[in-house]
Structure 1
Amino acid sequence: MSSPVITPLVEARGVAKRYGPTVALADGRLTVLAGESHALVGRNGAGKSTLVTVLTGLQAPDEGEVRFDGEPAPALTDRDAWRRRVACVYQKPTVVPELTVAENLFINRQPTGPGGFISWRRLRAQAAELLDTWDVRVDPEARTRELKVEDRQMVEIARALSFGARFIVLDEPTAQLDNREIERLFTRMRALQESGVTFLFISHHLQEVYEVCQTVTVLRDARWITTAPVADLPRAALVEAMAGESVAEHESRYVRGAAAADAPVVLTAHGLTSEAYENADLTVRGGEVVGLAGSSGSGKIELAESFAGLHTPTGGTAELGGEKLPFGDVQAALRAGVGCVPRDRHEQGLVAAMTVGDNAVMSVLNRLGRFGFVATETRRAVARELIERLDIHTEGPEQPVSDLSGGNAQKVVMARALASDPRLLVLINPTAGVDVKSKESLLARVDSAREDGTAVLVVSDELDDLRRCDRVLVLFHGRIVAEHRAGWRDHELIASIEGVDHG
Structure 2
Amino acid sequence: MVAAPPVAEATGVTKRFGSTAALLEASIRIEEGQTHALVGRNGAGKSTLVSILTGLQAADEGAVAFGGEPAPRLTDRDAWRRRVACVYQKSTIIPELTVAENLFLNRHDRGRGGLISWRTVRERARELLETWSVDVDVRVPAGDLDVEQRQFLEIARALSFGARFIVLDEPTAQLDGAAIARLFARIRDLQRQGVTFLFISHHLQEVYEICDTVTVFRDARHVLTAAVGDLPRAELVAAMTGEAAAEAGAARSGPPAGAATVLAVTGASLPGRYEDVSFQVRAREVVGLAGAANSGRIEVAETVAGLRAAADGVVEIDGVRPAPGSVPAALAAGVGFVPQDRHHQGYVPRMSIADNGTLTIPDRLGRAGFIDGRRRDSFARSMIGKLAIKTPGPELPVSGLSGGNQQKVVMARALANDPKLLVLVNPTAGVDVRSKEFLLAKVEEIAESGAGVLIASDELDDLRLCDRVLVVFQGRVVAEIPRGWHDHQLVAAMEGVDLDG
Q: Which TM class, normalised by the smaller chain length?
A: over 0.9
Work out whether residues 318 and 333 of structure 2, in 8 Å CA contact, stay in contact via their aligned partners in 1. no
Aligned to 1:256: 252
- Map 1:292-311 onto structure 2 (within 5 A): 292-311=289-308
- Is the partner of 1:271 in helix, strand or coil? strand
Work out whether residues 91 and 171 of structure 1, in 8 Å CA contact, stay in contact via their aligned partners in 2. yes
After alignment, is 321-330 or 170-179 more displaced? Answer: 321-330
Aligned to 1:221: 219
Instruction: Tell whether 2:166 aligns with 1:139.
Output: no
- Map 1:269-348 onto structure 2 (within 5 A): 269-275=265-271, 276-348=273-345
Aligned to 2:182: 184
Aligned to 2:458: 461
Following superposition, the deviation at residue 255 of structure 1 comes to: 4.5
Instruction: Tell whether 2:37 aligns with 1:65.
Output: no
* Aligned counterparts of 2:29 and 2:439: Cα–Cα separation in 1: 33
* Aligned counterparts of 1:193 and 1:177: Cα–Cα separation in 2: 21
Instruction: Tell whether 2:472 aligns with 1:475.
Output: yes
The one-letter amino acid paired with 2:4 is I
Residues 58-91 of structure 1, C-alpha deviations (whole Å, 9 max, x = no match) = 0000111100011111111110000001110011
Q: Which runs of 5+ in 1 are unaligned?
A: none
Following superposition, the deviation at residue 256 of structure 1 comes to: 2.8
- Map 1:90-489 onto structure 2 (within 5 A): 90-247=88-245, 250-252=246-248, 255-275=251-271, 276-489=273-486
Following superposition, the deviation at residue 452 of structure 1 comes to: 1.1
- Is the partner of 2:89 in helix, strand or coil? coil
* Aligned counterparts of 1:366 and 1:77: Cα–Cα separation in 2: 50
* Aligned counterparts of 2:22 and 2:397: Cα–Cα separation in 1: 17
Residues 331-356 of structure 1, C-alpha deviations (whole Å, 9 max, x = no match) = 12111111100000000001001011
Aligned to 1:23: 21
After alignment, is 142-151 or 341-350 more displaced? Answer: 142-151
* Aligned counterparts of 2:372 and 2:122: Cα–Cα separation in 1: 58
* Aligned counterparts of 1:436 and 1:234: Cα–Cα separation in 2: 16
- Is the partner of 2:197 in helix, strand or coil? strand
Work out whether residues 307 and 325 of structure 1, in 8 Å CA contact, stay in contact via their aligned partners in 2. no
- Map 1:484-503 onto structure 2 (within 5 A): 484-501=481-498
Following superposition, the deviation at residue 141 of structure 1 comes to: 1.0
- Is the partner of 2:404 in helix, strand or coil? helix
Following superposition, the deviation at residue 254 of structure 1 comes to: 5.8
The one-letter amino acid paired with 2:87 is V
Structure 1 residues 68 and 246: alpha-carbon distance in aligned structure 2, compared to 1, 3 A threshold: same
Following superposition, the deviation at residue 4 of structure 1 comes to: 2.5
Work out whether residues 342 and 427 of structure 1, in 8 Å CA contact, stay in contact via their aligned partners in 2. yes
Root-mean-square deviation over aligned CA pairs: 1.1
Work out whether residues 54 and 85 of structure 2, in 8 Å CA contact, stay in contact via their aligned partners in 1. yes
Residues 148-181 of structure 1, C-alpha deviations (whole Å, 9 max, x = no match) = 1111001001001000000000000000000000
- Is the partner of 2:360 in helix, strand or coil? helix
Work out whether residues 213 and 225 of structure 2, in 8 Å CA contact, stay in contact via their aligned partners in 1. yes
* Aligned counterparts of 2:86 and 2:96: Cα–Cα separation in 1: 21
* Aligned counterparts of 1:239 and 1:209: Cα–Cα separation in 2: 12
The one-letter amino acid paired with 2:463 is L
Following superposition, the deviation at residue 135 of structure 1 comes to: 1.0
Work out whether residues 338 and 346 of structure 2, in 8 Å CA contact, stay in contact via their aligned partners in 1. yes
* Aligned counterparts of 1:20 and 1:287: Cα–Cα separation in 2: 45
The one-letter amino acid paired with 1:279 is D
* Aligned counterparts of 2:20 and 2:351: Cα–Cα separation in 1: 21
The one-letter amino acid paired with 2:473 is F
Following superposition, the deviation at residue 253 of structure 1 comes to: 5.1
Residues 296-347 of structure 1, C-alpha deviations (whole Å, 9 max, x = no match) = 1110000000011100111000111111132211112111111100000000
* Aligned counterparts of 2:441 and 2:393: Cα–Cα separation in 1: 22
2:11 maps to which of 13, 29, 34: 13
Following superposition, the deviation at residue 252 of structure 1 comes to: 4.5
Q: Which runs of 4+ in 1 moved over 4 A?
A: 252-255
TM-score by length of 2: 0.98
The one-letter amino acid paired with 1:4 is V
Aligned residues: 499
The one-letter amino acid paired with 1:429 is N
Residues 227-262 of structure 1, C-alpha deviations (whole Å, 9 max, x = no match) = 011011011111111111112xx2355653322132
Residues 103-135 of structure 1, C-alpha deviations (whole Å, 9 max, x = no match) = 000000111110111101100100000001111
Work out whether residues 363 and 419 of structure 1, in 8 Å CA contact, stay in contact via their aligned partners in 2. yes
1:56 maps to which of 46, 54, 73: 54
- Is the partner of 1:359 in helix, strand or coil? helix
- Is the partner of 2:358 in helix, strand or coil? helix
TM-score by length of 1: 0.98
- Is the partner of 1:135 in helix, strand or coil? coil
Q: Which runs of 5+ in 2 are unaligned?
A: none
The one-letter amino acid paired with 1:260 is P
* Aligned counterparts of 1:394 and 1:437: Cα–Cα separation in 2: 17
Instruction: Tell whether 2:37 aligns with 1:44.
Output: no
Work out whether residues 7 and 67 of structure 2, in 8 Å CA contact, stay in contact via their aligned partners in 1. yes
Work out whether residues 13 and 30 of structure 1, in 8 Å CA contact, stay in contact via their aligned partners in 2. yes
Following superposition, the deviation at residue 184 of structure 1 comes to: 0.2
* Aligned counterparts of 2:250 and 2:461: Cα–Cα separation in 1: 12
* Aligned counterparts of 1:296 and 1:124: Cα–Cα separation in 2: 31
- Is the partner of 1:279 in helix, strand or coil? strand
Work out whether residues 271 and 279 of structure 1, in 8 Å CA contact, stay in contact via their aligned partners in 2. yes
* Aligned counterparts of 1:67 and 1:341: Cα–Cα separation in 2: 42
